[in-house]
Copies of this chain bind each other. A is one copy, B any other.
Amino acid sequence: MNAPEPAGPLFASVLIANRGEIALRIARTCRELGIRTVMVYSEADRDSPALRLADRRVRIGPAAARRSYLYPPAILEAALGAGAEAVHPGYGFLSEDADFAEMCRAEGLRFIGPPPEVIAALGDKTQARELAAAAGLPVLPGSPGALSSGQAAKDVADGIGYPVIIKAAAGGGGRGMAVVDDPADFARAFAETRASAQAVFGDARVYVEKYVRGARHVEVQVLADLHGNVVSLGERDCSVQRRRQKLIEESPAPGLAPGLTAAIGEAAVSCARAAGYVGAGTFEFLVDGAGRFFFIEANCRIQVEHPVTEMVTGVDLVREQLRVAAGLPLAAGAGAAARGVSIECRVNTEDPGRGFLPTPGLIEEFVPPGGPFTRVDTHGVPGVRVSADYDSLLAKVVVWAPDRDQAISRMDRALEEFRVSGRGVCTTIGFLREVLAHPDFRRAEHDTSLADEMTSGRRRTLQGAARP
């Protein structure tokens, strides 16, 4: 992968089509690479501290995302007006919108992500399943494609055996899914999931898959360039989720046999190759109690939890995305051996006591943790206003340590140190510390049900166990 490095910056100017901590994250690497940044913002984000890091700022619309961050004409006009050469979509919003990637291409803008065709193929979960199966990856028993008839779907479910999960083909972010344990509930769940898929994703297609209880969520970070290099940067365990949204991620996946994680990594690379993947991407797997793994989906973007991979590998993933988009090979060292353990905790402005209800408002006190082996990615500052218009992620606290026990202790120290307050604003900090203190998590014997069972009271929560 060695090649002479170019003399100038990879791009003269990149437009960042996102907001919050990821906009800041991308701007930081751009600045380090000498790339000028254009940040777009909605009315709600006009005072966002992330904008301070931009070389240029363009207001693109009102608070509502569908008229700003999700509105391709506004983003494209901003990019063209500001003379940007490329567009980095971050995560969420338009990051996995094949049409948007296509529009960028049509306007002569480099879209920092895989080609539209790859996004389209992997973005459709049924197509992704088929592609993975054809590449030799284990997939869960399920419908071969989308199902529109309730009866046909129920026949498939009956054939697979319960529990099953009904998923939106166009889904993502943990939404548009329903688990069915009892055949009698299937018809209603099917209709509801279709309706919600239509409402949320504008695409009613759903499919049915075997549901694995007690599974671990393990994903592999892949980098691929235009020169045929495809490497795995190791896996992340993202099993601590509330209602299928990740709260804690770590690398490497704890408690899995080294042979198993190696096999999952190789499967991800095969799948990326088969899909013609380019850039940074994530391939997600379920690992069941018997140590079997199954491909579930691919994410064609930088992930929220990418820092844990950066901390163990030393690779700046956004830098690699930019290199690949500029046509360069992956940097030497990308794919090198990982060191130690990294954990990320998502500090959201939500009330864990009320079903993780968002609690937007003015952040008055904001003192993030610091010190050894502690990284905080945040757009928060004292006086920042958390808007109800967007998601509630306020900060990502990421730590590194030589082993998992030390990493957990370090994370608990960092979270304890984190001071966030504002009238009416709650955060997930206390809950995260309870998870860190939970014996199942400490022993790495948890699965994707841990957080939900802790909040629902089905599992002991050990109130205050993390506090000395």
Residues on A close to B: CB < 8 A?
24-25, 28-29, 31-34, 36, 49, 52-53, 55, 307, 310, 314-316, 318, 331, 333, 339-340, 367-368, 370-378, 381-382, 400-402, 406, 409-410, 412-413, 416-417, 419, 468
Contact = CB atoms under 8 A, between A and B. Distances in A.
Given A31-B416, A406-B32, A316 B372 contact: yes
Contacts of A340: 314
A24 B402 contact: no
B372 A374 contact: no
B372 A28 contact: yes
Contacts of A372: 25, 28-29, 307, 310, 316, 318, 375, 377
A34 B406 CA distance: 11
A49 B372 CA distance: 17
A350 B410 CA distance: 33
21 contacts: A25-B372, A31-B416, A32-B406, A32-B410, A32-B413, A33-B409, A49-B367, A52-B419, A55-B468, A307-B372, A314-B339, A314-B373, A315-B402, A316-B401, A318-B372, A370-B377, A370-B378, A372-B377, A373-B375, A375-B375, A382-B382
A40 to B, nearest CB: 20
A231 to B, nearest CB: 15
B371 A25 contact: yes
A345 to B, nearest CB: 15
A377 B371 contact: yes
A176 B402 CA distance: 41
Contacts of A29: 372
Contacts of A416: 31
Contacts of A367: 49, 381
A408 to B, nearest CB: 9
Contact of A31 (B34, B53, B413): B413
Nearest to A416: B31
Contacts of A52: 417, 419
A53 B339 contact: no
A193 B402 CA distance: 47
Given A28-B372, A314-B373, A370-B375, 19 more contacts: A25-B372, A28-B371, A32-B406, A33-B409, A34-B468, A49-B367, A55-B468, A314-B340, A314-B400, A316-B372, A318-B372, A331-B402, A339-B339, A367-B381, A370-B376, A372-B377, A373-B375, A374-B375, A375-B375
Which 6 A-B residue pairings sit nearest by Cβ, starting from the closest? A32-B409, A28-B371, A31-B413, A32-B413, A370-B376, A32-B410
Contacts of A374: 375
Contact of A368 (B53, B370, B402, B468): B370
Contacts of A406: 32
A121 B368 CA distance: 42
B375 A333 contact: no
A410 B34 CA distance: 10
A84 to B, nearest CB: 16
B371 A24 contact: yes
Contacts of A371: 24-25, 28, 375, 377
A115 to B, nearest CB: 26
Given A33-B409, A382-B382, A409-B33, A310 B373 contact: yes
A28 B370 CA distance: 9
A406 B314 CA distance: 12
Contacts of A417: 28, 52-53
A414 to B, nearest CB: 8
Contacts of A468: 34, 36, 55
